[in-house]
Structure 1
Amino acid sequence: MGPKEQGRLFGLLEGGRGIVDTAVAFSALGIFVLLGSGTGGFRAAIAFYAVIDIAVGVLLFLLLRTEPATQMGAQVSGLSAQPSEPKKQKAGLGEIWRAAKLPQLWWVSFTVFMVYVVYCGLTYFIPYLTYVYGLPVALVGAYGIINQYGLKILGGPIGGVLADKVFKGASRYIRLAFLCLIPVVAVLLLLPADPSRQIPAMIVTLLFSLIVFTMRGVFWAPMDEVGIPEETSGTAFGIACLVGYAPGMFAFIVYGAILDANPGAGGYHIVFIVLAALALVGAAVSSGLVRAARARRAVVEV
């Protein structure tokens, strides 16, 4: 896939991850139930996850290893006459510093950061629906499956198509998606806290989650849009992951502290207002990303 298809590439990747997550999670659940839903089943489920990790590691080792014999054959066939490529420098502080000096990398990093800090808030929809709307256990299970698995499978591909085909750039789509989250939160806050409004509340929260999953599916695509040099892309991705996924270390603590300090529906409403405010900040940050992508396109076209 080329540069104009990065959104769909990353979107399909996220959708594929959702399918794998669903298959593995339900398989582990099946093992847990099959063995009695007790300590033995729990241990077996953990062992299942360990076996999956080991198997994937072995497959990667076999599929991604280099083929020195093929390279030697290419040299014998005449490619050896070409000047040899310079040896790649080992990654170190110098390489990290070179990547860190790229301003466009920080626009990507902080955009991912804003998407992820909002994504962490999706966790609180189930307890909110249960506490405020009295969602029954059966609906909680169905909602959880749709919210955590179904939307992840759908969100990535949908985001990829929208980013590439409609908005002609993941950065532009992410900016608009951030803005779309704000009215969704407004509708959620305006819904009466009445058990008779369970279905509308579920629909609104699922819509919020779907938008976030579409963003998460394509939030790495702008790495190509802003022109991160290929020779430093690995280090750049490492820095971007460190910054972008940082909310996982503190977001849940912050949201939980808000709920502890404000028991009841009011605490959840404050969390949702914070999510809307973060979405507004995310729109501002992604606007910088859009400008960086525009500047990159201008240079390429010249």
Structure 2
Amino acid sequence: MELKKKYQTVFLLTCGLCIWNIVYLPSFFYVPFQKAFQMTNEQMGTLLSMYGVIALLGYFFGGMVADKFNPKKLMVLSNIATGLLGLYMATFPNYNALIIVYMAFGVTSVMLYWSAFVKSIRMMGDDDEQGKLFGAFESFYGIVSLVLSYIILLTFSNYIANNGHFEYVIISYSVISIIIGFFILILYKPEKNASNMISTESKFNFKALPQALKLPVTWFNSIIVFTLFVIISGSSYLNPFLNSVYMVPVTWATALGIAIKYGFRVFVSPIGGSLIDKYKKSSKVLIYTSVLIITAGIFLLILPKNPKYMVLGVVAVFIFCVVNNLPRGCMYVPVAEAKVPVEIVGTVVGIVSAIGYSSDVYIWKLFGSLLDKHGNQGYNYIFMILIGSATIALVTGIIYDKYLLKLDNKSGKVIS
């Protein structure tokens, strides 16, 4: 498959990830969502944490599911099921029912889609194209989510601000998710060699599990994803941070929140992906960008928390978002970089994702409780956690770089 065709396929499959726009509405539409469902900050965090509990299992078993079943069918089912759950959420069920919906999201948006998506891209490109393809995924995801979110925000901003009709936002994302599911069904045509990677055994390949756990790259990649995802999660609170601390209006804060979550991916993430291909090692990019994240995080921490510094606050948030989007490609490349056998790629991705995204179980509840308990001072505690995560990423990058050097000396064979 030529590179242009590969990019087109990556774009199509990336559109399917609009399912996460539904799941993470409490993140980038933080204030409107909170008002619509009348929740505290901790309840908002608990909602995403309950999603994280099921998602954790979904990431783990999703790898084996992707190794066993047709990834295309899994992704189609994921989009349609998530869209239907979103339509139910638009009826504004009570909090307990909403918790159940978010637990179900853990199955439909993670177990069914994520590992199948990663495996599909992994099978699509050669080893020297992984940085480009995953960088393109980050960019495409940013473009699709940014365009959709701004269209929805501009279309319904008046309703949200004056009438509280947040259900229009939920319904829009849900219908789009279902439509994209059918597009993937019709348009996605995986190559024959990718289809052949589906296990023909009647049972899950549990033998792949100990093989995957033995690989050092599984653990390096898990720590990398974990630390970077904590930083990404914390960045979601920059939206209410600007509204609460610097009195940026809700509509503008939401617009900035959309840019924070998606906009910077469009331009920044591909740069990180290109740097990985240039230096031939994701570890180098991880090391340099971790230093930048630590520096930007300290700047946010010491910044005066006063509305008269609103412009400076917006600039600080902008800088932080630029630097924390640079290493996103590092989250997905190590599996290919260390030449993990194709037969267990899905299982390795499942383990990496389960460990890497495990902070979803508690981090949202933690952040929410910090804000409820400490008010605006809670944002400083959040920034401290992000700086700590970047520091761990820096140390991991240094050790992983040495591992890759050993790998090169062993003629590219994966070290177990």
Q: TM-score, normalised by structure 1?
A: 0.81
The one-letter amino acid of 1:143's match is L
The Cα shift of 1:148 comes to 2.4
Native 8 Å contact 1:15 1:217 kept in 2: no
Aligned to 2:342: 230
- Closer/same/farther in 2, CA of residues 48 and 132 from structure 1, 3 Å limit: closer
The Cα shift of 1:97 comes to 2.4
Alignment partners' CA distance in 1, 2:156 and 2:374: 36
Please say if 1:61 is aligned against 2:170: no
Aligned to 2:406: 295
Aligned to 1:286: 397
Alignment partners' CA distance in 2, 1:35 and 1:44: 9
Question: Secondary structure of 1:134's match?
Answer: coil
Aligned to 2:319: 207
The one-letter amino acid of 2:312's match is P
- Write the mapping of 1:1-302 to structure 2, written as runs, cut at 5 A: 1-29=125-153, 32=156, 42-43=166-167, 45-64=169-188, 91-137=204-250, 139-165=252-278, 167-264=279-376, 266-300=377-411
Native 8 Å contact 1:22 1:149 kept in 2: yes
Alignment partners' CA distance in 1, 2:154 and 2:253: 19
Native 8 Å contact 1:33 1:41 kept in 2: no
The Cα shift of 1:153 comes to 1.4
Alignment partners' CA distance in 1, 2:190 and 2:262: 35
Q: Which runs of 5 or more residues in structure 2 are unaligned?
A: 1-124
The Cα shift of 1:204 comes to 1.6
Native 8 Å contact 1:96 1:235 kept in 2: yes
| Higher mean C-alpha deviation, range 46-55 or range 33-42 | 33-42
The one-letter amino acid of 2:224's match is T
| Higher mean C-alpha deviation, range 232-241 or range 107-116 | 232-241
| Higher mean C-alpha deviation, range 119-128 or range 142-151 | 142-151
Aligned length: 284
Question: Secondary structure of 1:93's match?
Answer: coil
Alignment partners' CA distance in 2, 1:259 and 1:36: 24
Alignment partners' CA distance in 2, 1:134 and 1:279: 28
Question: Secondary structure of 1:209's match?
Answer: helix
Native 8 Å contact 1:111 1:289 kept in 2: no
Higher relative contact order (CA 8 A, sep 6+): 1
The one-letter amino acid of 2:134's match is F
The Cα shift of 1:34 comes to 9.1
Native 8 Å contact 2:338 2:412 kept in 1: no
The one-letter amino acid of 2:210's match is W
Alignment partners' CA distance in 1, 2:171 and 2:258: 23
| Cα offsets for 1:144-169 (capped at 9, x unmatched) | 2432232121222121122222x332
| Cα offsets for 1:18-72 (capped at 9, x unmatched) | 111123334444664698989996555444433333333233333446799xx9x
The one-letter amino acid of 2:128's match is K
Native 8 Å contact 1:159 1:214 kept in 2: yes
The one-letter amino acid of 2:217's match is Q
The one-letter amino acid of 1:107's match is F
- Larger of the two Rg values belongs to structure: 1
Percent identity over the alignment?
Answer: 29
Q: TM-score, normalised by structure 2?
A: 0.60
- Closer/same/farther in 2, CA of residues 168 and 36 from structure 1, 3 Å limit: closer
